[in-house]
Structure 1
Amino acid sequence: MSAITSENGLEDAHSKSFWVPGNYQRTVKRTEDSFQACNDIVACFQERARVERQYAQQLAEWSNKWKPLVETSPLYGSLLKAWKCFLSSADRLASYHSSMCRSLVAEDGDRVRSWQKESFHKKFFGGFKESQDFGTGFARAQKPWAKRLKKLDKARSAYHKVSRREHLVREREAHAAGNPDVAIEKQKKIQEEREAAQQVADKVRARYEKVLEEVSRYAPRYMEEMECIFDQSQEEERKRISFLKEAFLSIHKHLDVTTNQSVKAVYSELHNTLMAIDDQEDLRWWKNTYGPGMPTDWPQFQEWKQEKKTKKEKVKKVVEQKAAIEKSTMIGGVKVRALYDYDGQETDELTFKSGEEFLKIEDEDDQGWCRGVLEGGREGLYPANYVEAV
C-alpha cells in the first residue's frame, strides 16, 4: 500500500512539474497575484492608520477631560507637577500618533500605489502586459517541445500496443508447445505469427527509440529557452520583493516607537518629573503658603485715627466704578452668578459668595480660569466652573 502511495505521489509531482506543457501558468499568474497583494498591503495599513488616528484622538480627549480636574485637585507642588506631566505627555504622544497616521497614508500608501502603477501595465481587455509577455514566451518555447512529446506519446502507445500483442502470441506459443492436443501445423502457424509479431514490435520499437532520441536531443534547447523566460520572470519578481521589502521597512520605521527620539524624550521627561517628586520641598511649600511659615500681622498697639472721605474722593470712586462697568461692557462682558463661595488665593484672584452676580469679561483659558469684574469694580481671575451664566 505504501509503495502505491509513493508511486502516486511521484506521479503527481511529475504531473505538476514546471517542465510539463501548460504548468508555467503558475509562474505567469504571479504578476496578477503581486498586483492584488499591493492592494491588500495598502488596505491593511490604511486600516492601521485609522487605528493610530483614533488612538491619538482618544489620548487628546482623555487629556482635555482631566486637565481642569487636575488643576483644581488638592495635590500641590512636585506631586501636582508630576500628575500634570502625564497629561502633557499624552498630548505629545497624540501628536506623534497623528503624524504616524499621516505617514502610513500619505507616504507609505502613496509610495506603494505609485510603484504599482509604474510596474503593472493593464491591458484594455483585462490582464497585464507583463503576464501576456511571459505567457507568450513560455508558450512559444513549449510549442515545439509539446509537438515532440505528442509524437513521442503516439510512438510509445504504438509500441506498447504491438508489445502487448506479441506477449499474447508468445503465451499462446508456449501453451501450444506444452499441449499434445495442439497439432504440429497449428503450432507452426502460431510460431510464424509470433515471429511476425516480434518483427513488427522490433520495427515499432526502433521508431519509438528514434523519436525518443529526437526528444532527448531537443530537451537541452527546450530547457534553455524555458529557463531564459523563467529568469526574466524571476527578475521581475525580485524587483517586486525588493520594493515591498523597502516598503515594509519604511512602515516599520514609522510604527517603531522604541527608536523614535521624540517618544523617548516624552517618557524620559515624564520619568525625570516623577523622580523629582520631593516630599520635603512640598511640605516646606505648604508650611510657608498655608502653615506656620506664613507672614502675619501680630497684634500691636495702634492709635485711633479718624478716617474722613472728602466729597472729591467719593466722586472719584463712583467714576472709577462706572468706568470699570463700561470697560466690561465694551469688551463684551457676560453677566454670571456664583454657584459656590470662593476665596481668592492670589492677589489677582476675585473673592465672592454663592449667589453673587458680576460680569465675565474674558472667556475660559486652557487652565480653566476666567476674568471678571465685581460690582464694586474689582477685576481679577476666578475658576470657570464656580459660576453659571445668567
Structure 2
Amino acid sequence: MSAILPEGGLEDAHSRSFWMPGNYQRTVQRTEDAFQACNDIVACFQERARVERQYAQQLAEWSNKWKPLVDTSPLYGSLLKAWKCFLSSADRLASFHSTICRSLVAEDGDRVRSWQKESFHKKFFGGFKESQDFGTSFARAQKPWAKRLKKLEKVRGAYHKVSRREQRVRERELHTQGNPDVAIEKQRKIQEERETAQQEAHKVRERYEKVLEEVTRYAPRYMEEMDSIFDQSQEEERKRISFLKEAFLSIHKHLDVTTNESVKAVYNELHNTLMAIDDQEDLRWWRNTYGPGMPTDWPQFQECTPERKSRKEKVKKLVEQKPVEQKAAIEKSTMIGGVKVRALYDYDGQETDELSFKSGEEFLKIEDEDDQGWCRGVLEGGREGLYPANYVEVV
C-alpha cells in the first residue's frame, strides 16, 4: 500500500536514501546500537533477577512467620495438613525463584557479556573496529559516486541557471515584438541576446547530459559495491539477531514456570493435599481422640487382691529357706560396681520398689536377673530399685 507523501516528500525520501552520500551511517551505527542494546538487556533482566530474589525472600519470610501459628492452630487432621502444605509449597517455590535469580545473572547475563566481548572490539580512541571497518568500506565505495554526483549537481545547476536566463530573455523578446514604443535596434539586441542564451543553454545541456550519462553508466558498479558491503553488515546483524533470539529463549526457559516439572510437582502435591481434606475422617479422628470414642475403664466390681511382696522380702525369704551354700551363691549375685545397661523401652514402675525410666536412658545393673525375670539397678540420680530384665540391654 502506497503512502501519501506531503509536498516535497519525494525530495525528502530521495535525500534519506541509502544510496545518497553519507546515508550508510545508519547501517554502520547498528553495531554500536547493538552493543548498547546488549547492555540494556543485561540491565533489564538483572533487575528482573532482583525481583525474583525479593519474591523468594518474601515467600520464605511469609512461610516462617505463619509456621508457629499454624502449628498451634485449633485445626486438626487433613485440614491442618492442607494448611501446612501451603507453607511447605512456599518454601519450595522460594528455592525455585532463587534458582531463577541465579540463572538470569550467572547464566543469561554472563552469556550476553561473553558474546559482547567476543563480537565487539573497542578502539583505543572510541567506537568499535567492526563499525569503523564497515564505515571505511562504505566510504571507499561511495567516494567515486559522490564525486560524480557533485559534478552532476554542479553542471545541473549551471544548466538550470542558463535555462532560466534564456527563459527571461525569451519573455522580453515576446513582450517587445509588435510594440511600437520599443526601438528596432533594441529589439534586434534582445533577439541577439536570446540567441546567445539559447546557444549557451544548448551547450550546457549537452555537458549536463554527458555527465548524467557518465553517472548512469557508473551506477551499476556503485550499486554492486555498496550491496556487497551492505550484505556483509547484514550478515553481522543476522548473527546478532540470532544470538539475541537464543538469549531471549534461554531467559524465557528460566522464567516460564508453567513448564517446570518442579513447580508442577509443588502445585500437584498441594492440589492433592487439598483434595484429600476429608471431613468424615477428621470427625472420626476427633471422636476417637477427644470424644465418645475414647477408651475408658467403666466402674465394675473388683475383688481385693493381696499386696505384692517386694523382691527384697522375697529374696530374704528365699535365702532363709535355702541351705548355707545356696545362701552364699545368692548373696554373690550382688555385683560390685555394677554393669551399665540401656533401656530399650519406656517403663513406669508399678510399685514403690520399682524403677521408672525412658527408652534410651542408661543406668547400672547391680544384681543379676532372678527366676522371675527381675534385676536390681541404680539410676543416675542414685535411686535404686527393681526393673524387668527384658526391658534393657547391656551397653
Question: TM (normalized to structure 1)?
Answer: 0.76
Q: Which residue of structure 2 lines up, in the alignment, with residue 303 of structure 1?
A: 304
Write the letter of the residue equivalent to 2:153.
D
Structure 2 CA distance, aligned partners of 1:209 and 1:100?
A: 68
| Structure 1 counterpart SS, 2:126 | coil
Q: Which residue of structure 1 lines up, in the alignment, with residue 291 of structure 2?
A: 291
| Structure 1 counterpart SS, 2:38 | helix
Provide Cα deviations, 1:138-160, integer angstroms capped at 9, x if missing partner: 10011001100111111011111
Write the letter of the residue equivalent to 1:234.
Q
Matches within 5 A, 1:133-172: 133-172=133-172
Give the Å deviation of 1:270.
0.7
| Structure 2 counterpart SS, 1:258 | helix
Give the Å deviation of 1:125.
1.0
Query: Is residue 215 of structure 2 the alignment partner of residue 212 of structure 1?
Result: no
Structure 2 CA distance, aligned partners of 1:113 and 1:133?
A: 22
Write the letter of the residue equivalent to 2:134.
F
Which structure has the bigger radius of gyration?
A: 2
| Structure 2 counterpart SS, 1:27 | helix
Structure 2: which 5+ runs fail to align? 314-345, 348-380, 384-395
Query: Is residue 102 of structure 2 the alignment partner of residue 66 of structure 1?
Result: no
Any runs of at least 4 consecutive aligned residues in structure 1 with deviations exceeding 3 A, and if so which?
304-312
Structure 2 CA distance, aligned partners of 1:294 and 1:58?
A: 43
| Structure 1 counterpart SS, 2:7 | helix
| Structure 1 counterpart SS, 2:283 | helix
Give the Å deviation of 1:171.
1.5
Structure 1 CA distance, aligned partners of 2:173 and 2:8?
A: 36
Query: Is residue 19 of structure 2 the alignment partner of residue 19 of structure 1?
Result: yes
Structure 2 CA distance, aligned partners of 1:58 and 1:296?
A: 49
Structure 2 CA distance, aligned partners of 1:26 and 1:293?
A: 86
Structure 2 CA distance, aligned partners of 1:68 and 1:291?
A: 26
Q: Which residue of structure 1 lines up, in the alignment, with residue 234 of structure 2?
A: 234
Q: Which residue of structure 2 lines up, in the alignment, with residue 254 of structure 1?
A: 254
Matches within 5 A, 1:1-390: 6-300=6-300, 301-303=302-304
Give the Å deviation of 1:310.
9.2
| Structure 2 counterpart SS, 1:148 | helix
Provide Cα deviations, 1:297-342, integer angstroms capped at 9, x if missing partner: 2223252665888999xxxxxxxxxxxxxxxxxxxxxxxxxxxxxx
Provide Cα deviations, 1:93-139, integer angstroms capped at 9, x if missing partner: 11111111111111111111111110101111110000100100110
Q: Which stretch of structure 1 is more off in the superposition, 176-185 or 295-304? A: 295-304
Write the letter of the residue equivalent to 1:50.
R
Give the Å deviation of 1:284.
1.0
Structure 2 CA distance, aligned partners of 1:176 and 1:234?
A: 64
Provide Cα deviations, 1:204-259, integer angstroms capped at 9, x if missing partner: 11001000110111111111111111111111111111110110011011111111
Q: Which residue of structure 1 lines up, in the alignment, with residue 318 of structure 2?
A: none
Q: Alpha carbon RMSD of aligned pairs, Å?
A: 2.3
Write the letter of the residue equivalent to 1:242.
S
| Structure 2 counterpart SS, 1:303 | coil
Structure 1 CA distance, aligned partners of 2:67 and 2:75?
A: 13
Q: Which residue of structure 1 lines up, in the alignment, with residue 361 of structure 2?
A: none
Write the letter of the residue equivalent to 2:287.
K
Structure 1 CA distance, aligned partners of 2:78 and 2:183?
A: 125
| Structure 2 counterpart SS, 1:115 | helix
Give the Å deviation of 1:7.
2.7
Q: Which stretch of structure 1 is more off in the superposition, 300-309 or 108-117? A: 300-309
Identity of aligned residues (%): 86
Provide Cα deviations, 1:175-227, integer angstroms capped at 9, x if missing partner: 22121122223222221221111111101110010001101111111111111
| Structure 2 counterpart SS, 1:272 | helix
